[in-house]
Structure 1
Amino acid sequence: MSKHFRIKGHGRIDRSRLLTFTFDGKSYTGHQGDTLASALLANGVHLVGRSFKYHRPRGILGIGADEPNALVGIRRDAARYTPNLLATQVELYEGLNAVSQNRNPSLENDRMEVNDKFLSRFIPAGFYYKTFMWPKSAWDKWYEPRIREAAGLGIAPSQPDPDVYTQRYAHCDVLVIGAGPAGLAAAKEAAATGARVILADDRPVMGGSLLAAADTNISGQGISGDGENWFSAGAWRNEVLEFLKAQPNVTLLPRTIAFGYYPHNWIGLCEKLTDHLAVLAKGAPRERLWQVRAAQVVIATGAIERPLVFPENDRPGIMLADAARSYLQEYGVAVGQKVAVVTAHDSGYRAAHELKAAGVEIAVIADIRGRSVVSDRAVQAGLNVLTDAKIEGTSGKLRVSSITVTAEGFRSNFACDVVLMAGGFTPSVHLFSQSRGKLVWDNKLQAYLPGESAEAERSAGASRGRFALAEALADGVDAGREAAQAAGFTPAGPAAYPQVTLKHAIGSGGYLGAAPTSADLSKAKAFVDWQNDVTAKDIVLATREGFLSIEHVKRYTTTGMATDQGKLSNINALGIVSEATGRSIPQIGLTTFRTPYTPITFGTLAGHARGMLFDPARVTAINDWAVGQGAAFEDVGNWKRAHYFPKRGEDLHAAVNRECVGVRKSVGIFDASTLGKIEIVGPDAAEFMNRFFVNAWTKLGVGKCRYGVLLREDGFVMDDGVVGRVAKDRFHVTTTTGGAARVLNMMEDYLQTEWGELKVWLTSTTEQWSVIAVQGPKAREVIAPLIEDLDISAEAFPHMSIGDGKICGVPLRLMRVSFTGELGFEVNVPAGYGRQVWEAIWERGKAFDMVPYGTETMHVLRAEKGYIIVGQETDGTVTPDDAGLSWAIGKAKPDFVGKRSLQRPALTSPDRKQLVGLISSDGRTVLEEGAQIVDPAAPKVPIGHVTSSYYSAVLGKPIALALVRGGRGRLGESLYVPMPEGVLGVQVAPTVFFDPEGARVNV
């Protein structure tokens, strides 16, 4: 054996292609086809990380997605850094730059190792729940920052991700998840029927356990038309893949993780496209999200090797036995020179035999079971076997150096550089569980298996406990045929089941819980969850403190949490809880498998939804004009709206004061295009409106407008807006900016599910109209000369009128409405003409000192008039009466949405919070919005809160609106508002502060 631990004649790596890579700044070499983990092991490197809590040295434990220790960061350049990648899944490429995590300053010398040596007794499971309770202020300032500094995984990237991620939707007849023996057999069988098949596997090379199946032969039944031929496992795999590649109805997806099973056979797949490449093509996507809707699903995700729990079982060099065997057969890597095997399953012997045949010295096989045929054969092969063994512990600092075993009354210490654990196999049932299928406990296999299905799926192979290769292949054949038939396809002939011969067969079953030892597990560290530093004594402590459900044990100890999700730990944790509580495992239950079970990047889920595409900005036709005027903007939903228009030296308050005075004194112009607009058309349009809104609509005349209020079914205000009747069968409905979509959705819902007999059509026209609000005493003088075919005099076009005409030669829908309390018009023109018409009005308005104003000024002006804003004066618990809108309710209407709810006693109580005005007693303090309001008679009991608060430059004082319990009956009362500067007195006033007679709006 060479010093680099490569074994000639083994592995599928390309030894002719030497690759150079670095780990923690040190240069190493590997080969094309290696993973980072296999290349490190080939260089004799086992130490790859430090543990989460204790900062103990940790090494590579497994070979796939179940690896808990070997989490690394990969840096391609300054902007491309990805933490928390599994070294077992990172494919080697030239120049790969990997770094270890959770250590300072280095893996070999980590100053936080003090946690393990001196502090571990003080930080058992749940210690933070008990220790950091006092003083309260210390948690945020001291405790939490220190804990987060000491514990954790990788460091989050500091720069934006420069890579591209793409997404795709796909449909298929049969989706096969997992390309191991059962998955390949299922895909081949389904594809042969003509069904559209997608075969997805998370590894770069398909084949699963067949990739490491040495001394195994499979019959050629069903391949090449010849049932007499026998293939090696690798050759059989190649034949099947060649067959699948040749089929036009088959899609093969290697490097693809099935991360989530959602209702109606909707599966999320993450395909890695470029992470394995040394040179990235410009613009090439890094990953692709497949959202697959499958008629039938075959889950062939295999099984996870089960570790053993014994003292000091976490040192670098302690690995899973079948993983070590796979490193040998797949990558030509011997994981050590002198190996001890601790086993409770026949697979441990298989690993020992194959490693010995490759020239690796086997120090001992310690079988915690009794003597068997398998152990006798190992003795006959010259292996040192101890049965009925107890594992007392291991030694070694940065790598295991020995193991101590008690057997037949003798305690022995065996020198070794690797310890292999074989506890059996746990079926991968996470996707089945996510599909809402029912899991059942198999006492013989000591594992949960798929039971009753909730979706159109079936499990096959090791994922449902068929561990023997022949059984897995046959199960895959049956699953593929059944899935294709269920999808409507007919197999051409009878099923052909491949036969298998193999040198080292393995039995079924498995061991769970803590392995036998005479050591005191209440003192020794016997790890159950490597990633979260959870020991057997932590789990026993949790049961002793009353946590009996495995879900509670999980949260108290953190076992099975984080990116690992209990792949290795869950089943042993169940065994320990069972033993500690005397209950069976089905009584204890099983933790929930969440998506994604195997981690994927945020980029995959986001796809192109980033930057402006993540939260698309909607802009009006006038937006660029506002930008040119130096407007400050705010986001209202997805819309960009001008907040205010500052002049040089003005802040928000100065600009708003100037704009308010300008509108009240002369005229202002406001972009109201973002208001929702819905066209309601049809012979039954008035009846639909009557049923939907609280107001009466059948008698509203053509050319007239009305303020409309919409309730939810529970009687609370949902939205409001002005509605104009433009024809007998046509209404122009406006909504709040943020409410347009939900109002239209609610309308469609009622029309389709409740009132299907009504002849009504709904059309969203929000984007079609630009709306220019011209408000102020001079508004008519500004726009009248620009308008054709429409008389807008006070007599011909009074307040709350609507009519069509032209403005600047452009089609016009004009509404005389006001949200300021001034003479006001809303000019609706096709959006394509919005900028043109706006600029024409602006030019006319300059002679009248017109001011452009933004949303903040609009808020102040409407508050001066007591007009509400839905979502500000309402919070989802406000009725029309609470908001002072009882006048809007059609008293003679037999029904409308929410009417019956308004009759509930709780909604008619006179003690409900009602909208009122507030005036500060000192005449200068602007109240904080959201501030609580109290009665001097009971100063500790809030009776309401401030909903809107502003300084009114027109009135020369601050004003506020508030919801106060029994508010309308408190007019003139003095109340208190606690403020940061102290308690402030306020007087309850009517909601209308300016022009209470409404004379200005009717000029």
Structure 2
Amino acid sequence: MNSYRVSGKGRVDHNRLVHFTFNGEIFEGRHGDTLASALLANGVHLIGRSFKYHRPRGFLSAGSEEPNALVGVDRGVGRSEPNTRATVLEIFDGLNTVSQNHWPSLKRDFGAINDPFYMLFSAGFYYKTFMWPKSFWNKLYEPFIRGAAGLGKSPSVPDPDTYAGRFAHCDVLVVGSGPAGLAAALEAGKSGAKVILVDENPEFGGSLLSAPDAEINGLPAWDWLKQTSAALAAMRNVTLLTRTTAIGYYHQNFVGLCQRLTDHLSEPLDGAPRERLWKVRARQVVLAQGSIEKPLVFDGNDRPGIMLAGSARTYLNRYAVKVGNRPAVVTSHDSAWLAAFDLAQAGAKIAAIVDIRAKVPEYLVKRARALGIETLCGWTVTGTKGRLRISSLRVNPVAAGGQVGPARTIACDALLMSGGWTPSVHLFSHTKGKLDWNEERQMFLPGARTEDSRCAGAGNGKFGLEESLLEGASAGAGAATDAGFSASAGSYAVEGEVLCTGVSNRELPSDKNASWAKAFVDFQNDVTAKDIRLAVREGLKSIEHIKRYTTTGMATDQGKTSNMNGLSIASDAVKRPSPSVGLTTFRPPYTPTTFGAFAGYNRGELFEVTRKTAIDSWAEENGAAYEPVSLWRRAWYFPKQGEDMHQAVARECSATRQSLGVFDASTLGKIEIVGPDAAEFMNRMYTNAWTKLAPGRLRYGLLLGEDGFIRDDGVIGRLSTDRFHVTTTTGGAARVLAMMEDYLQTEWPDLKVWLTSTTEQWAVIALNGPNARKLLEPLVEGIDLSNEAFPHMSVAEGKICGVPTRLFRVSFTGELGFEVNVPARYGRAVWEALYEAGSKYGVTPYGTEAMHVLRAEKGYIIVGQDTDGTVTPDDASLAWAIGKTKPDFVGKRSLTRPDMLKADRKQLVGLLTSDPKTVLEEGAQIVLDPNQPMPMRMVGHVTSSYWSETLGRSIALAVVEGGRAKQGQTIHVPMPDRTHTAEIVGMVFVDPENKRLNA
């Protein structure tokens, strides 16, 4: 155990042992380890499998740019999380982790069968395959593709953790705590400016944690780091945030920060949030994010044990772990030599340093020789071997003309590679900052900025320690000055620094035919150099198109290690400079961020409150099944013992049609419109005429948008000359009120009208059925319920069961119906009184599903189900609801547009299937000719479809092009099992003469 641990090195606590599991096996680490460093200390390199070919994968990096080492983490019930980067996952006692994307085991993965057939899975293969035979799609291709999708397994139960949010303002926000970031924060903090310093790591230091050799202002690097961190902590105007990632940089210096609070704890504090999302508005921003090391592209560069040289240095100097006992190095940059030197001094036997460059700084070669390291300058790597971990590499000399010479094999247990470094410009690019291409250095650098920001350090191309410190100090002082404070940049002197240089290679020379080489660019998605060249041959020239065709840079790391190599290879393939090929767009978040962090406190009831009516408790006590409707919890149906939904709904419908049904309609939106101009206001808002509606009468109201399409509807009662009781759809209450307020305040401020939402003031009990009047008559006071005195579409105020009521005679079922409005506090009492009195009539409570069936039988529409935002009154057979003599109303002008008058517009009609037992799927498309070639021309779709117990058959409503003129014709509805036929009929299936309604 821990055979690769180096005592006396690193920043881990060697005296605090930590035990954790990986794939069921218990391992030992040190406090301060990440999962990656702890596994490497135990000699474990195999961590997962790639997405497409299921090739073995090891650790590539030591930071958040990691594309390979994704694991599943299980912290308990509901606390499982897939695709967690092992390189940033801090271990703790009891941590349980598993590898992903394999079956039946990590070492023996059946999915690896894809690898030998890689020629079948070339770039864009999914656009070219699975086409034939067509019958295979549903039964074979689609299930196979869905089964292969993804890497880890998402949790299936609700997340029990809590998440927090916070808003903050500061004068200077510094992102990154490497040398440049620390210097910037220190100078800004000294000025008195309010400073926030953030870093994604558990401690500040950045590159200093991996390269502690130099001295800063006479102090060893780590001593200077300790001193500077303490100075910042002592400043009351400075906020220090570790384990905090700047995930997005938005306009007007708005920056999102995700702070991880408890993921590193074995026992999180009760009630403590797991993460906190900071929303920071800064007057000035300093971006000091550092840089990302580039892999080299060569055949077999993806085996476990092959990693970035800078990462190997990090594992050694920060975590006290040798990544191998006999590592080799392949590089085109000086920095990889330093990693080799550090490992050699820690006891590793360096197999060789292979440098692509023929000329390397002499001091590096001399130091390598002094340490007994073989150097091969002007050589290349042309291949590797090793099934689950690299065991050797094949190297070849490269002549001046690029020809590859004879090969030799070098045994090794790790291979450290470096193609140089590229500035991390992601956040700078989030705000559309301009990137300038530096041809000599082969990298993009921050250019013209769009925000009040500065870039400093390696993120701005300053890779030297001293120049990074100086630029950071200048950036911090400049930011503080621009924020209105007096600041000046301090001076820094660095001793013992090794300035590194290097070149960038598109793809290493090879002795292998390019069509057979597996030189990986995107390690997670298995994108190779030849995939990118194939995309170019197939006509793709823009890097954005190449990215999507090959999936380069579309993995969970978003191309942090692959984008630049992919761009270089594409540039070479199209024979154009890199800037003309373009750079992929960097988008937030910078690293994967949990949904919980974005949601914060806005989860469950705090995000979407469940509204309940005054009668809801009675429904729950009587076994109601529920469904969500807008924010309301509504009784869906009331099953009796042994009944399923269909049986319960059929019973409820029959009881309502034959005797008496009772329904909780309290969720309908209700708006009180009062004022001397109330009638005029109604006349302008709704399509119908309202000025002549007599008090005591109801009218169906239709509300349009300015585009002439139906927005809402409802029954509206005129209580007096200056008062209307308006009802809306359940989901439209707030929207309609806002629309009314908007017009009243911006278009007609001269009208004397007051609007009041009364949705929750009233409980509404709908009574429907032949016995509805018989039930009400002995219970109502002050209202004559006879048909002559109180006809359909009447409203009156009186008392019921001794409680004040607004009684509507209205029906949404087509039966004799009443809606009893009582103050909400009396809702349940009145409901129980009505239910008890109705027992002699067999009163039956019914839910929303029966309500849907009953209204469809009568041809009544539901806005939002039978309409979709493009339906006009005429389309819905509601032209009768338009006031013909009204000078104007909202949406009137749009009704005369040519497109609104076309005869072939989709119109609502009824459908009767040829097989009475077939219930069509809602949303199913309609065609006239089922034998037409694909793609078929669709002429409409089913909007509502039910089994009608009243008729003993299925019914449906649908929108069909020119539907009313096609009544009697047959249409076809393709469904997964087979194509069904149906006849177009009128919308009213039950009681077209309205005899029941007017009884």
Q: Could you say whether these structures have the same fold, taking a TM-score greater than 0.5 normalized by the shorter chain as the test? A: yes
Q: Deviations over 1:957-1002 (max 9, x none)?
A: 665544444444456x35355587876563634x445454545545
Q: Distance between the aligned counterparts of 2:471 and 2:796, measured in 1?
A: 74
Q: Deviations over 1:605-654 (max 9, x none)?
A: 44456666675433211112122333333332332322333445555555
The two structures have a TM-score, normalised by structure 1, of 0.90
1:190–1:483 CA contact under 8 A, matched in 2: yes
Question: CA 1:958–1:136 in 2, change beyond 3 Å: closer, same or farther?
Answer: closer
How many angstroms does 1:206 deviate by? 1.5
* Candidates 976, 983, 986, aligned match of 2:983: 986
Higher deviation after alignment, 874-883 or 302-311: 874-883
Q: Distance between the aligned counterparts of 2:23 and 2:922, measured in 1?
A: 53
2:929–2:972 CA contact under 8 A, matched in 1: no
Question: CA 1:191–1:724 in 2, change beyond 3 Å: closer, same or farther?
Answer: farther
* Candidates 388, 394, 398, aligned match of 1:398: 388
* Candidates 442, 455, 461, aligned match of 1:459: 455
How many angstroms does 1:48 deviate by? 2.5
* Candidates 332, 350, 354, aligned match of 2:342: 354
Hey, what does 2:524 align to over in structure 1?
Answer: 531
Hey, what does 1:90 align to over in structure 2?
Answer: 89
Q: Secondary structure at the match of 2:63?
A: coil
How many angstroms does 1:521 deviate by? 3.0
Hey, what does 1:545 align to over in structure 2?
Answer: 538
Q: Distance between the aligned counterparts of 1:952 and 1:87, measured in 2?
A: 58
* Candidates 478, 489, 492, aligned match of 1:495: 489
Higher deviation after alignment, 609-618 or 136-145: 609-618
1:346–1:374 CA contact under 8 A, matched in 2: no
Hey, what does 1:292 align to over in structure 2?
Answer: 280
Q: Deviations over 1:813-857 (max 9, x none)?
A: 333332234443322223222112211222333344433232233
After TM superposition, the structure 1 = structure 2 runs for residues 43-82 of structure 1, keeping only pairs within 5 Å, are 43-77=42-76, 80-82=79-81
Q: Secondary structure at the match of 2:885?
A: coil
Identity of aligned residues (%): 60
Question: CA 1:970–1:149 in 2, change beyond 3 Å: closer, same or farther?
Answer: closer
* Candidates 313, 318, 330, aligned match of 1:342: 330
Q: Secondary structure at the match of 2:274?
A: strand
Question: CA 1:640–1:158 in 2, change beyond 3 Å: closer, same or farther?
Answer: closer
Q: Secondary structure at the match of 1:362?
A: coil
How many angstroms does 1:473 deviate by? 2.5
How many angstroms does 1:573 deviate by? 0.8
2:663–2:765 CA contact under 8 A, matched in 1: yes
Hey, what does 2:9 align to over in structure 1?
Answer: 10
How many angstroms does 1:572 deviate by? 0.5
1:53–1:151 CA contact under 8 A, matched in 2: no
Q: Distance between the aligned counterparts of 1:172 and 1:681, measured in 2?
A: 48
Q: Distance between the aligned counterparts of 1:3 and 1:654, measured in 2?
A: 65
Counterpart of 2:39, as a letter, is L
How many angstroms does 1:309 deviate by? 1.1
Q: Secondary structure at the match of 1:857?
A: helix
Q: Distance between the aligned counterparts of 1:925 and 1:5, measured in 2?
A: 69
Hey, what does 1:579 align to over in structure 2?
Answer: 572
Q: Secondary structure at the match of 2:350?
A: strand
Higher deviation after alignment, 730-739 or 200-209: 730-739
After TM superposition, the structure 1 = structure 2 runs for residues 577-616 of structure 1, keeping only pairs within 5 Å, are 577-607=570-600, 616=609
The two structures have a TM-score, normalised by structure 2, of 0.90
Q: Distance between the aligned counterparts of 1:263 and 1:708, measured in 2?
A: 44
Higher deviation after alignment, 854-863 or 714-723: 854-863
Higher deviation after alignment, 748-757 or 424-433: 748-757
How many angstroms does 1:64 deviate by? 0.4
Q: Secondary structure at the match of 2:66?
A: coil
2:365–2:375 CA contact under 8 A, matched in 1: no
Q: Distance between the aligned counterparts of 1:725 and 1:312, measured in 2?
A: 81
Q: Deviations over 1:28-65 (max 9, x none)?
A: 33211111222222233333333333333332221101
Question: CA 1:15–1:138 in 2, change beyond 3 Å: closer, same or farther?
Answer: same
Higher deviation after alignment, 69-78 or 548-557: 69-78
Hey, what does 1:275 align to over in structure 2?
Answer: 263
Q: Deviations over 1:931-964 (max 9, x none)?
A: 6667799999765555445555556666554444
Q: Deviations over 1:666-691 (max 9, x none)?
A: 44321101111223345554444333
Q: Distance between the aligned counterparts of 1:150 and 1:913, measured in 2?
A: 41
Counterpart of 1:125, as a letter, is A
Counterpart of 1:70, as a letter, is A
Counterpart of 1:546, as a letter, is G
1:112–1:150 CA contact under 8 A, matched in 2: no
Counterpart of 1:626, as a letter, is A
Q: Deviations over 1:438-466 (max 9, x none)?
A: 33322233222333334444333222222
After TM superposition, the structure 1 = structure 2 runs for residues 657-806 of structure 1, keeping only pairs within 5 Å, are 657-682=650-675, 684-751=677-744, 753-755=746-748, 758=751, 760-788=753-781, 797-806=790-799
Question: CA 1:561–1:881 in 2, change beyond 3 Å: closer, same or farther?
Answer: same
Residue 209, structure 1, aligned to residue 207, structure 2: yes
Question: CA 1:340–1:746 in 2, change beyond 3 Å: closer, same or farther?
Answer: same
Hey, what does 2:151 align to over in structure 1?
Answer: 153
Residue 333, structure 1, aligned to residue 321, structure 2: yes
Counterpart of 2:28, as a letter, is T
Counterpart of 2:266, as a letter, is A
2:295–2:417 CA contact under 8 A, matched in 1: yes
Q: Distance between the aligned counterparts of 1:191 and 1:741, measured in 2?
A: 48
Q: Distance between the aligned counterparts of 2:72 and 2:647, measured in 1?
A: 51
Residue 447, structure 1, aligned to residue 443, structure 2: yes
Hey, what does 1:470 align to over in structure 2?
Answer: 466
Q: Distance between the aligned counterparts of 2:163 and 2:333, measured in 1?
A: 43
Q: Distance between the aligned counterparts of 2:774 and 2:306, measured in 1?
A: 88
Q: Deviations over 1:45-90 (max 9, x none)?
A: 3333333333333322211011222222333456643332222111
Counterpart of 1:551, as a letter, is E
1:181–1:210 CA contact under 8 A, matched in 2: yes
How many angstroms does 1:879 deviate by? 1.1
After TM superposition, the structure 1 = structure 2 runs for residues 847-926 of structure 1, keeping only pairs within 5 Å, are 847-917=840-910
Question: CA 1:679–1:236 in 2, change beyond 3 Å: closer, same or farther?
Answer: farther
Counterpart of 1:275, as a letter, is D
Question: CA 1:147–1:1000 in 2, change beyond 3 Å: closer, same or farther?
Answer: closer
How many angstroms does 1:423 deviate by? 1.5
Counterpart of 2:243, as a letter, is R
1:676–1:740 CA contact under 8 A, matched in 2: yes
2:303–2:390 CA contact under 8 A, matched in 1: yes
Counterpart of 1:817, as a letter, is V
Hey, what does 1:315 align to over in structure 2?
Answer: 303
Hey, what does 2:402 align to over in structure 1?
Answer: none
2:474–2:488 CA contact under 8 A, matched in 1: no
Q: Distance between the aligned counterparts of 2:994 and 2:148, measured in 1?
A: 66
Counterpart of 1:596, as a letter, is P
Q: Secondary structure at the match of 2:384?
A: strand
2:337–2:364 CA contact under 8 A, matched in 1: no
Residue 136, structure 1, aligned to residue 134, structure 2: yes
How many angstroms does 1:296 deviate by? 3.8
Q: Deviations over 1:893-929 (max 9, x none)?
A: 3332222221112211233343444566788876665
* Candidates 625, 630, 638, aligned match of 1:632: 625
Higher deviation after alignment, 774-783 or 346-355: 774-783
In angstroms, what is the RMSD of aligned CA positions? 3.4
Higher deviation after alignment, 656-665 or 322-331: 656-665
Residue 975, structure 1, aligned to residue 975, structure 2: no
Q: Deviations over 1:113-148 (max 9, x none)?
A: 4443x3234433333433432223334433455566
How many angstroms does 1:880 deviate by? 0.7
Higher deviation after alignment, 841-850 or 992-1001: 992-1001
Counterpart of 1:401, as a letter, is S
Q: Deviations over 1:840-875 (max 9, x none)?
A: 222333344433232233334333433222233323
Q: Distance between the aligned counterparts of 1:678 and 1:952, measured in 2?
A: 34
